[in-house]
Structure formats: structure tokens, C-alpha cells
Amino acid sequence: MNTLKRWCAVVLLVVSWGTMAVAQQPQQQEPKRQEGFLPVDQLPPTESMPAAPLLITAYAFVMIVLFVYVLSVARRLSVVQQELNRLDASIRQGGRT
């Protein structure tokens, strides 16, 4: 159980460091304001979704947490299965636990 907590702490630290590194990137200077309407296809390529790195980091974090949770459940389930097998063998031998 302690190793699971350690792995979760390490994953949380790595994800938070990655998020902070992305968030602390130098901000681009605001381009000159324009007058009037400008169609979307004429916008400069630098104007894209700035939240994409944070979104990817959030999805990666959720996937890692989900993977760790599934591993934890699988580990606990195998321990329960071993205990059931031990009890079944004990009952078949006619002994008590």
C-alpha cells in the first residue's frame, strides 16, 4: 500500500511540474489591434488555442490516475482470490481456518 501511495505522489509531482512548466512559458506579446472584421481564414497562425497544453496535461493526468486505480483494484482482487482459494482448500481438507 505504501508503494502505491509513493507512486501516486510521484505521478502527481511529475504532472504538476509539467503543468507549471507549460503555464510559465513566456507569454506572447499581443499583436496590434485591428479595425473591423477579419475572416477566420485570414487570421495569423499564432492565434490558436493556448489552452491545448493544459488540456493535454489534464487528460494525461486523468489517464494515469485511472491506470493506477485499475492496477490497485486488480492487485486487491488477486489478494482476495488467493484468500478464497486458501479457504476453499482448507474447507476441502475438513479443517477449520
Query: Domain locations in the chain?
Result: 1-21+51-97
Amino acid 81: pLDDT: 97
Amino acid 37: pLDDT: 78
Q: Please report, in tens digits, the pLDDT of each residue of the chain (97 residues total).
A: 677 778 777 777 777 777 766 556 666 666 677 677 777 777 666 655 567 888 889 999 999 999 999 999 999 999 999 999 999 999 999 865 5
Cβ partners under 8 Å of residue 19, min gap 6: 54, 57
CA 80 and chain centroid, separation: 27
Amino acid 88: pLDDT: 93
pTM of the model: 0.47
Amino acid 22: pLDDT: 58
One-letter identity of residue 17: W
Q: Cα separation of 72 and 64, whole Å?
A: 12
**For 33, which DSSP code?**
P
Which helix (H) or strand (E) is 70 found in, with range? helix 52-92
